[in-house]
Chains A and B, each alone.
Chain A
């Protein structure tokens, strides 16, 4: 439900930093532990960019898996549900390595090589 606000924030930052240069693609990284619905983010993006200078600009969403590292046994676990626990020794004494991201990674300008 807050995907619209997230898109608004992305647009604001990209708008400021592109300083008028046309943008063709925006890359964001969203962690598994964030409750962001990708389809909803895409839908919001299309709605908010329509009729603006960013119309047609792609929003590329990278999903970052949630990974924890166990402080007891050192094993790394990729979580399949939101319980922060080690799959090897079942300890809850784990450190979150990734999965918490809500990041605007980069944007691509029109006319570049990529």
Chain B
């Protein structure tokens, strides 16, 4: 918690305030915002507008450096880290990859990904009580400052494992992907519609387990279509490597 107290760029923020006050001076409200009545001050902004402003700055920094970024989300244990390992190996020398690893605590996931050629930046979200359940734009901004952006083509942002909160926060990536494991049950798109609705691509992971599970893939696809008719689906197995080439091709095509 307390993320919105920190301003990643104090100078720019002050400048914003100044501009705003200046533009609205004629309104007569000394805060710079429109008064709709004797006591009510209208704001009419997204609650997350400060986060969104920082996210835009992140995206601009990435664009300036020619970096294309994906926000990778899932529930805990769906296989993000294993899939990332596979992805780094498959991409090999084809492009220069950076990984921004978000975790509530520990460097266990970041350690697993080291030595595979990617630049890694770890962001532990445990500054508040017990740890933040998602990455926000300010956390990602601090993580970006520790990455050599001019030496990266693709940035994979591994979000905190959680099917609710990460979906609400724009972190400044260009696309959103989620890893969904077939062990999670067919109804998940209906139970976590914000997440399933927010992504461009769903990686349906652990498909190598399908013969052993009482899981109806078509039923899952129907639910997924219900909440996100346009989403791209790629069936993968981080264990066997199935579908990883298709995912890498998607990354390549979407990023260019």
Chain A interface (Cβ within 8 Å of chain B)? Answer: 1-2, 4-6, 8-10, 12-14, 16-19, 21, 28, 33-35, 81-85, 92, 102-114
**Docked-complex contact B47 and A6, CB < 8 angstroms:** yes
Q: State which of A17, A34, A112 has its C-beta within 8 Å of the C-beta of B168.
A: A34
Q: How far is the CA of A4 from the CA of B50 in the complex (A)?
A: 15
Q: How far is the CA of A111 from the CA of B47 in the complex (A)?
A: 25
Q: State which of A2, A82, A110 has its C-beta within 8 Å of the C-beta of B193.
A: A82
In the complex, how many angstroms separate the beta carbon of A72 from the nearest chain B beta carbon?
A: 13
- Is B215 engaged at the interface, CB distance under 8 Å to the other chain? no
Contact count A vs B, C-beta below 8 Å? 126
- Is B136 engaged at the interface, CB distance under 8 Å to the other chain? yes
Task: Decide yes or no: A8 and B3 within 8 Å by CB, A33-B193, A106-B42 being known contacts.
Answer: yes
In the complex, how many angstroms separate the beta carbon of B133 from the nearest chain A beta carbon?
A: 5
**Docked-complex contact B43 and A34, CB < 8 angstroms:** no
Q: State which of A5, A106, A110 has its C-beta within 8 Å of the C-beta of B43.
A: A106
Given contacts A8-B5, A35-B192, A107-B41, could you give 4 more A-B pairs where the C-beta distance is less than 8 Å? A6-B47, A81-B190, A105-B44, A109-B39
Report chain A residues within 8 Å CB of B36. 106
In the complex, how many angstroms separate the beta carbon of A37 from the nearest chain B beta carbon?
A: 10
Report chain A residues within 8 Å CB of B44. 103-106
Report chain A residues within 8 Å CB of B49. 13, 104
How many residues of chain B get a CB closer than 8 Å to chain A's CBs? 46
Report chain B residues within 8 Å CB of A92. 225-226, 229
**Docked-complex contact A13 and B132, CB < 8 angstroms:** no
Nearest residue, chain B, Cβ from A83:
B226
Q: How far is the CA of A111 from the CA of B49 in the complex (A)?
A: 28
In the complex, how many angstroms separate the beta carbon of B30 from the nearest chain A beta carbon?
A: 7
Contact with A along B37-57 (1 / 0, CB 8 A): 111111111111111000000
Report chain A residues within 8 Å CB of B4. 5, 8-9, 12
- Is B31 engaged at the interface, CB distance under 8 Å to the other chain? yes
Nearest residue, chain B, Cβ from A81:
B190
Report chain A residues within 8 Å CB of B210. none
**Docked-complex contact B48 and A6, CB < 8 angstroms:** yes
Q: How far is the CA of A109 from the CA of B42 in the complex (A)?
A: 11
- Is B249 engaged at the interface, CB distance under 8 Å to the other chain? no
Report chain A residues within 8 Å CB of B30. 19
**Docked-complex contact A104 and B31, CB < 8 angstroms:** no
In the complex, how many angstroms separate the beta carbon of A108 from the nearest chain B beta carbon?
A: 5
- Is B116 engaged at the interface, CB distance under 8 Å to the other chain? no
**Docked-complex contact B39 and A35, CB < 8 angstroms:** no
Q: How far is the CA of A5 from the CA of B190 in the complex (A)?
A: 24
**Docked-complex contact A82 and B39, CB < 8 angstroms:** no
Task: Decide yes or no: A105 and B192 within 8 Å by CB, A2-B133, A2-B134 being known contacts.
Answer: no
